[in-house]
Amino acid sequence: MILDRTSPPVIHDAIDFEFNLPPINTHQLDNGIPLYWLDAGVQDIVQIDWIFPAGLWYEQKPSVAQATAGMLKSGTSKHSAEQINEALEFYGAQLKTTAGNDYATLTLYALTKHLPSLLPMVNEIITDTVFPEQEVEIHKRNVIQKLLVNLRQCEFVANQQIDALLYGENHPYGRYSKKENIDSITRDDLVQFYSLNYNLANVKIFMAGKIGDTEVKYLNDIFGKQTLNKTEPKRDSFIVPPMGSRIHEFNNDPNGVQGAIRIGRLFPNRHHPDYAPMVVLNTLFGGYFGSRLMSNIREDKGFTYGIYSSITPELNGGSMIIHTETGRQVVEPAIKEIYSEMEILCNDLASDDELLLVKNYLLGGLLADLDGPFSILQRWRTLILNGFTKEHFYNNIKIYKSITATELQLLARKYYSPDNFYQVVVI
């Protein structure tokens, strides 16, 4: 067959594609630990996530959840921190430990063939971290030093303040690190939080890569043979305070030439019917480089290098925040333009061309997410941890494709009233 190189190939819009979320295998280890695994990819590499209910929501003392996650590789009764890191380096593996608002996660990236050597080490970290006193003090010094550096940056302080205003400083989603809180952490605090919240009876394991029954057996041999003691992590209830004064300014650096702007409000999480439609509206407003905020405030006015609007869903709430940094002298004009763009969204319908562009951008990003085992696993992780099935994914696709400009305008009128937004400026 001779190719006709005088005719370009047909270009298809992302909105015209059929989306297919590859299925995930659901398995229970011998002791009941749930394992979700995906055989995909062509490289002999694997990602495994161990996810525990050990985020900030569960801590009884500020900063303990992140300190515990940050010190999981600090040493066990059998191996020092140096030995653990040397072993990971020897096998060319990476083990990341993080604590978010709701969950703590251990993520292992490794060549599949090294799993028999690496999984016993991960199990040792999960079940036998001892938090050596010397390592605790080193960790605290390092965290405090990093915090003091970050506190000089207006954008860091602005992020702290907008979350505290939205949720309240005593709420886990609004609580932020303070030097005195980190200073007060003791080894006993970490040991107690670790023993209560890093319980294999409460873990969910996710695995993806070029894998199969052999790798499932590796996990079962290490994690599925242990006796589990089922305990419920201590989970307090938190109340978001009623909205107070909207506008807040902080002078973080008298000589600062840059101002950080954060304009935010509370917004429902993924379980609310407005969430998926708002993903489309937020993308149009400030969710990508071609958004209205970017076109106006960066491209037209030249007030900033970048401005974005983001939706952050949590298990127990969520927020919608516009964030940018501008020159100190144009902070007020930039804020005025942000509210002007909100008003336009409420008063004028988006054009067909603009809405098609936004839909193609959003759906094109989803297509990219479905290319590769690790990104597919992330998609399934989000569904499973929120109690959704694949039907939720396909329903969102349907909404992204079919939503109209009129529906977006009604949504804007519901959520883009300036009176419902906190405004934070940090110089």
Look at residue 51 in the predicted model and tell me its pLDDT.
Answer: 98
Tokens representing 265? 């409000």
Alpha-carbon span 99 to 121, nearest angstrom: 20
Amino acid at 79: H
Work out the pLDDT band at 1, boundaries 50, 70, 90.
low
pLDDT in tens, 271-282: 999 999 999 999
- Rounded CA separation 319/167 (Å): 9
Q: Is the backbone of residue 131 left (phi > 0), alpha (psi -120 to 50) or beta? A: left
Alpha carbons 318 and 266: distance in angstroms, whole number: 6
Report d(CA 23, CA 164) in Å as an integer: 39
With a pLDDT cut of 70, the percent of the chain lying above it is 100
Predicted local distance difference test score (pLDDT) of residue 9: 80
The 10 Å Cβ neighbour count of residue 361 is 17
Q: pLDDT by residue (tens digit) across 36-47? A: 999 998 899 999
Q: What count of other Cβ atoms lies within 10 Å of the Cβ of residue 226?
A: 15
Q: Which of 201, 182, 202, 179 is nearest to 190 (CA)?
A: 182
Strands 317-327, 258-266: pairing kind: antiparallel
Residues 48-104 pLDDT 10s: 999 999 999 999 999 999 999 999 999 999 999 999 999 999 999 999 999 999 999
Instruction: With a cut of 80, say whether residue 402 has pLDDT above it.
Output: yes
Q: How far apart are CA 184 and CA 3, in angstroms?
A: 71
Name the band, by pLDDT with cuts 50, 70 and 90, for residue 173: very high
How far is Cα 144 from Cα 74, in angstroms, rounded to an integer? Answer: 17
Distance separating alpha carbons of residues 423 and 427, to the nearest angstrom: 13
Average confidence (pLDDT) over 389-402: 97
Give pLDDT tens digits for 175-232.
999 999 999 999 999 999 999 999 999 999 999 999 999 999 999 999 999 999 888 7
User: How many angstroms from the chain centroid is the CA of residue 291?
Assistant: 22
What's the confidence (pLDDT) of residue 234?
74
Q: CB of 162 within 8 A of CB of 424?
A: yes
- DSSP per position, 12-65: --GGGSPP-----EEEE-TTS-EEEEEE--SSSEEEEEEEES-SGGG-SSTTHH
Model confidence over 336-382: pLDDT tens digits? 999 999 999 999 999 999 999 999 999 999 998 898 999 999 999 99
What is the side-by-side order of every strand in the sheet holding 25-28?
A: 25-28, 34-39, 204-209, 45-52, 104-111, 94-99
What is the rounded distance in angstroms from the CA atom of residue 196 to the CA atom of residue 231? 8
Q: What stretches of 80-212 show up as alpha helix (H) in DSSP?
A: 81-90, 115-128, 133-150, 154-167, 179-184, 187-197
Q: Label the pairing between strands 45-52 and 204-209.
A: antiparallel
Average pLDDT over residues 12-38: 94
SS3 209: strand
Domains of the chain (ranges plus CATH)?
Answer: 25-223 (3.30.830.10), 247-426 (3.30.830.10)
Digit-coded pLDDT (tens) for 237-263: 888 998 989 999 999 998 889 999 999
In eight-state DSSP terms, residue 277 is H
Return d(Cα 212, Cα 310) in angstroms, integer: 37
Which of 41, 8, 6, 132 is closest to 376 using CA atoms? 41
Partnered with residue 216 across adjacent β-strands are: none
Q: Is residue 423 scored above 90 in pLDDT?
A: yes
* Chain length of the chain: 427
Answer whether 0.75 is exceeded by the pTM: yes
pLDDT of residue 387: 97
Tell me the pLDDT tens digit for each residue of 278-295: 999 999 999 999 999 999
